[in-house]
Amino acid sequence: MAESADMEQLLTSFKKFAIHGDTKATGKELNGKNWAKLCKDCRIIDGKNVTATDVDIVFSKVKQKTSRVVTYEEFQRALEDLAPKRFKGQSKEEALESIYKLVEGREPTNVGVTKMAKAKAVDRLTDASRYTGSHKERFDESGKGKGREGREEIVEKTGYVGAYKNAGTYGDKMKTEK
């Protein structure tokens, strides 16, 4: 069997794949989707000896009848089932070592994840300095939104007319006239 350090790396990889894509996952159980991802990312699926169908069949074989997930022990049994099929020319122990080496220390990859589009059209449409009309009032000079102040006309309850420029100067005028 593999050394304890290698088994630690295998357990770490199991936990990383177990929590991948699921915020509620504890890392103790691996679902079928993540098992297939693990086999694909770690290159256990080679398309010739081991296919995605083989991986699904082994998953169904090792899990409990009513369960939809596998534990770490069942995960190890699944790797033991796939090892001789993946590495045909090797003995069962050598094949198991080889398949453990494929999985050890690996993490889920994010190949093909959608990136944010950065096109000239997007830049042109989101440039607040080019806005006109009422939309122009919603942003300051730097392009930052004004929030509610830019969307609604906020009434000041000062007693002065909205466009009056000398608001708050009445007291000063009265003092100078005396």
Q: Are residues 88 and 37 in the same domain?
A: yes
β-strand partners of 30:
70
Do 96 and 27 sit in the same domain of this protein? yes
**47 found inside a domain:** yes
Tell me: do 120 and 47 sit in the same domain: no
**Distance (Å, rounded) from C-alpha 24 to C-alpha 148?**
36
CB 87 within 8 A of CB 96: no
Residue 159 lies in a domain: no
In this structure, are 22 and 94 located in the same domain?
yes
Residue 1 has pLDDT above 50, yes or no: no
Domain span at 64: 1-103
* 133 and 95 belong to one structural domain: no
Q: CA-CA distance, 48 to 80, in Å (whole number)?
A: 18
Tens digit of pLDDT for each residue in 101-120?
A: 999 888 888 766 666 666 77
What is the tens place of the pLDDT at every residue in 115-167? 666 677 777 777 777 778 777 777 777 777 777 777 777 777 777 776 677 77
Number of domains forming the structure of the chain: 2
Cβ proximity of 90 and 107 under 8 Å: no
Query: Does residue 43 sit in the same domain as residue 130?
Result: no
Q: 89 with 123, same domain?
A: no
Is residue 97 assigned to a domain? Answer: yes
- Closest Cα partner for 51 from 72, 36, 69? 36
Same domain, 95 and 124: no
One domain, residues 54 and 6: yes
**2 has pLDDT over 60:** no
Dump pLDDT digits (tens) for 35-78.
Answer: 999 999 999 999 889 999 999 999 999 999 999 999 999 999 99
User: Between 25 and 70, where is the model more confident?
Assistant: 70
Mean residue pLDDT of the chain comes to 83
